Chains A and B, each alone.
Chain A
Amino acid sequence: MRLMLAEDSTLLREGLVRLLVEEGHEVLASFGDAVSLLHGMETRQPDVVVLDIRMPPTHTTEGLRAALEIRERWPETGVLVLSQHIERHYAAQLLASGAERVGYLLKDRVAQVDEFLEALERVRAGGAALDPEVVRQLVIRSTHGDPLGRLTPRERSVLEPLAQGLTNTAIARRLHISVSAVEKNLNAIFDKLELSRTTGHSRRILAVLRYLES
């Protein structure tokens, strides 16, 4: 796929470029800050942009603001945001306009190369990639203690990758069970959590996330 990167640490930026090129992707350009990234986006749009939240000049949320702008102006481009710490409201802001072509990962996740590349693929394919850590926090802090408690251990193990944005096939692969078993569990989850049987990949993530956040 065609990619653009924005990351202020030269070391990490170069590492990412190498990694992606080795995996057969095309890196159109890489930038050290959000302003030049947006400037670069004016001329051509990649499939996915990978960007750090904290970038110069203020090292606060430059990357997040750029990501929101990219989602608004170039909806066809996927956005994968890397964050220093997991902040639920950053995730919420990113997902506010839907869970298509968007990812929010802990920066360290890049070190787990397989997971990072998989998340990148999901974002490119139009899905979502949420860091397992975000989902874990949501599950822990969820105010719906009881319904979650009603889930069987197997259903709970399906709920997490579901909230992360994995497809049925990917969930099945991760948990080493059949796709039909995943579907069965999903139906049970949607019933128990009183979520409508939404079809469409992103809608079901959103349903679960909204449920966990509310």
Chain B
Amino acid sequence: MQGDTAGVVARRIPGRPGRKGSGADEDVDGRTLSWALRVAGVLLGCTTAAAGLLAFLLAGVALGPFLLWPHTRPGAFGVLMAGARRLAGLERNRRSFFFGDRFPEHYESCDRKVLRYLAVRGSTGLLCGVVIGLLGIGAVLAGLLVRGAVQGSLRWGELLTQSLLGGVLLFLGLQGLRSLVALDSRLARESFGPSEQELLQRRIDELAVSRAAVVQAVDAERRRIERDIHDGIQQRLVALAMLLGRARRGRDPEQADALLLQAHQESRDVLAELREVAWRVYPSALDDLGLEEALGGVAERCGVPVRTEFTVQGPLPRPVETAAYFVVSETVTNAAKHSGATAVSVRVLLDNQVLTVRVRDNGRGGADPAGVGLSGLRSRVDALDGALHIDSPEGGPTMVTAELPCV
């Protein structure tokens, strides 16, 4: 099972498959970064690229022989990588500071990615420097042209052709600069965070895991249902049939009467048990009356007082309702059975298309998230791309929170 947040993070970071736009266009804390910062960042980028290439060149010359020798290769490569990671870290900070990019905190890029980044980044940074230099030369030439025009030393035809040519070159230079800035941003995003392919791979892994878990959860539920039927209903029916059998064999009518009376009572108990089991298998009220009513049923059946706060307006997707119901019924049952709680509170609220279900009890805690019931719940919630948090320290209180996206 994956960590609670891994999937959520992967689904929320910028650069997610299908999402347009670059990290540099993101707002930070709601305010757009000033142009000055960006320009400074681009200029600094050119410098760091040149410095990086120089560092690589020097390191390559110094470490080259050691890298070629098989015995010393791992050590030399380690030294090279340590330097490379430091350089990459500098670039990462430059992106964060000047452009406001945000990268996943705990993401560790692989060696190949870091080296590739530095190599590509070095060349694009240098190219960026060349383009800026060309733009500078263009500005000087434009100044000369203007001065010539003002002094009248230029003929009109010459001025026109020069302006046209300068305009085209200016356009190309600006276009090149813009593309290089965008490329820089994309490179950083792909290198300091998961690439689209990695995100897809991670999603596929998640889905494979949750799919397997769903199958397991279904099997576990079936086993529980079978046990409910066998240990409860069937035993009662056999006992009932035995009572009737005894009544038939009974020697005196009085005893037979007493046995029949018992059998009658037993048959009513069997019916009650059957209703209970059927309800545990699937609460039909969920379909007929909706989640709020079904949760009311859970509270009524629980031996411990349950306070339910339900603030959802409008309909919810059926799978989300079902999952929310089972989260509540399972945790409330656990609280009543194992925790020694004297009060349970249930909150269900919808916020920003996410249904949050929170169950708290004042019991002694120590719930095992790996237990059959709770891991089954986790599978149910994972299957809907949700997250289940179980907080149950020894000594209590226990709080179980499920977040279920309603999309």
- A: residues with CB less than 8 A from B are 8-9, 11-12, 15-16, 18-19, 22-23, 54, 59, 84, 107-108, 110-114
Contact = CB atoms under 8 A, between A and B. Distances in A.
Contacts of A59: 227
B236 A111 contact: no
A110 B238 contact: yes
A9 B246 CA distance: 19
Given A22-B246, A113-B249, A15 B239 contact: yes
B242 A84 contact: no
B246 A18 contact: yes
A9 B235 contact: yes
B246 A19 contact: yes
A19 B247 CA distance: 10
B348 interface: no
A108 B243 CA distance: 13
Interface string B237-281: 111011101101110000000000000000000000000000000
B227 A111 contact: no
A107 B238 contact: yes
Contact of A15 (B227, B230, B242, B249): B242
Contacts of B105: none
A54 B231 CA distance: 10
Nearest to A54: B230
- Report whether over half of chain B's contact residues are helix, strand or loop; otherwise say mixed: helix
Contacts of A111: 237-238, 241-242, 245
A11 B236 contact: yes
Nearest to B226: A84
A183 to B, nearest CB: 32
A100 to B, nearest CB: 27
Given A19-B242, A111-B241, A111-B242, A11 B249 contact: no
Contacts of A54: 230
Contacts of A84: 230, 234
A22 B248 CA distance: 12
A11 B246 contact: no
Nearest to B230: A84
A12 B235 contact: yes
A113 B242 contact: yes
A118 B362 CA distance: 56
Contact of B235 (A11, A18, A19, A113): A11
Contacts of A114: 245, 249
24 contacts: A8-B231, A9-B239, A11-B235, A12-B238, A12-B242, A15-B242, A18-B246, A22-B249, A23-B249, A54-B230, A59-B227, A84-B234, A107-B238, A108-B241, A110-B238, A111-B237, A111-B241, A111-B242, A111-B245, A112-B241, A113-B245, A113-B246, A113-B248, A113-B249
